[in-house]
Structure 1
């Protein structure tokens, strides 16, 4: 059973969410705890560096550093020391992945949502590994917590009335990250069409080799694999552009490299112009994938 259930990275000065774990847990208590976490994220300037919000079965722990807060929801029986070790490691990874100056100027929510892949990796180590490979000293965290224990916040003190906290703080609504990709562009649609064309050409050539040249030995088999791998990668590029997928900034360049490898192998079966066409489409698709950013999904206002 998971003990660390949810992780959240937020900018302290305005409560702007920067990243979060894309989890799919829907228990009522967890969803309610996420609401409390969002409220607390809007009032982090009122708290010291570390704090804990306790409820019956779930606890919220948070720590702040360099104007960024790292928050998590854990089971109540999960050791506090380990929870803050998790947050410290999360913070180390976040600031090493992104420039602080960039973090403090972004304006759209979840601008660093691709960090979710790192969150999931760290969560897995703390939840399922018998001995997490801690990058920080548990002893140091224990000593720090004894000297400056986290401020305790009673969940009953978080009063929400008509969307405000204590009558003056705006509540960021929603129990989970709400985001979507920007609308597709004309060039983006063109890249998808060209990618489908390249994928179809790869599939046709691959099937043709299977029908006529598969008996020619390992060389023919390698070409079949290269054509079919290029076909699958073209389809994958179309999917990456049209739909959100975590770690897309890693997967898109990876797909581009695979297409380069496949076409290099097929040099004898394609002329230079054909290879340049396939590589050009792959580069265009990769650029469009990386250029299509996430935007905040508008919330239903209700009428």
Structure 2
């Protein structure tokens, strides 16, 4: 059925919805068209006063003048001249009810929602009135459209225009090239084998070096233990010698102790050096 399905009034400078009809349809095409209408309302300043966005079954018409723009969703078969008659009548009613100051000060969406009753009345009149009742107004609009045809676009183009306005470039889907790895050559296989052999030899060499170093450290620890034992024995002998000779002066006691430690250190150092040289460190 050819009819007007939805209408709204928006502020032209920023697309703020001021009032709209409360009609709601669960048709998916209608919901998609409502989404495109909202996108279009944000970029109306880029277009002339009148325009049409055509879809498969539905179309969006807009008529902008002054501070506001009236927009409507109609079936594709609804006459274009009738649609613009409806939008012009709606704009007259709205500008007669609200001045430019109140329109400019509106800060929230649908600030003039009470105007919905007027939208419903005008919409019903154009949906069910005969052509003879609208003859004079219709002839005037047809003459204006003949002199200055409205802009015609597709619904699909609205999303692209809105994306360019927000600095979003259209997404281009490209297939990535299919890269394949080249087979390994004989020279590459030989290089891989030599690298593995070198790594294995270095690993074996490192194990032997760690084992040899561990043995040397173990021997040094054992030698240090022997040095401590010899030092204790010599110290004990030194005490006995001091007791037997009856030494009383402190420097004589310290002298004997020092000689005992030095003798034990020289003996064990000589043994340690001979052991290290024999082991090939």
What interval of TM-score do these two structures reach, taking the shorter chain for normalisation?
0.5 to 0.7
For residue 156 of structure 1, report the CA deviation from its aligned partner.
2.1
Q: CA deviation at 1:111?
A: 0.4
What RMSD over aligned residues (CA atoms) do the two structures have, in Å? 2.2
Distance 1:86 1:150 in 2: 15
Pairing 1:14–2:26 present: no
Counterpart in the other structure of 1:106: 106
Tell me by how many angstroms 1:167 deviates.
Answer: 6.0
Which has the greater radius of gyration? 2
The structure-2 alpha-carbon separation of the partners of 1:169 and 1:90, relative to structure 1 and needing over 3 Å to count, comes to farther
- Choose 58-67 or 152-161, whichever is displaced more: 152-161
- Secondary structure of 1:34's partner? helix
Structure 1 residues 95 and 167, CA gap change in structure 2 (3 angstroms): closer
What is the deviation of 1:160? 5.8
* Contact 2:2–2:76 (8 Å) recurs in 1: no
Q: CA deviation at 1:23?
A: 0.5
Matches of 2:167 and 2:36, distance apart in 1 = 13
Change (3 A) 1:34 1:46: same
Displacement after TM superposition at 1:165 (Å): 2.0
C-alpha displacement of 1:43: 0.2
1:88 alignment partner in structure 2:
88
> Residue 154 of structure 2 corresponds to which residue in structure 1?
154
- The secondary structure found in structure 2 opposite 1:104 is helix
Query: 1:165 maps to which residue?
Result: 163
Paired residues for 1:37-116 under 5 Å: 37-116=37-116
Q: Match of 1:45, SS?
A: helix
Mapped partners of 2:79, 2:122: distance in 1: 16
Q: Paired residues, what number?
A: 168
Alpha-carbon distance, 1:67 to partner: 1.8
Give CA-to-partner distance per residue, 1:11-58, whole Å, 9 cap, x none. 010110000000121100000001110000000010000000000110
If each structure's helix is expressed as a fraction of its own residues, which one has the higher value? Answer: 2
| Structure 2 CA distance for aligned equivalents of residues 142 and 83 of structure 1 | 11
With structure 2 as the length reference, what TM-score do the two structures score?
0.56
| Mapped contact 2:21–2:116 kept (Cα < 8 A) | yes
Question: Which whole-Å CA distance do the structure 1 matches of 2:136 and 2:103 have between them?
Answer: 23
Q: Deviations over 1:211-230 (max 9, x none)?
A: xxxxxxxxxxxxxxxxxxxx
**Retained in 2: the 8 A contact 1:126–1:132?**
no
CA deviation after TM superposition for structure 1 residue 108, in Å? 0.7
Unmatched segments (≥5 aa) in structure 2:
169-281
Change (3 A) 1:132 1:69: farther
Gaps of 5+ in 1: 171-303
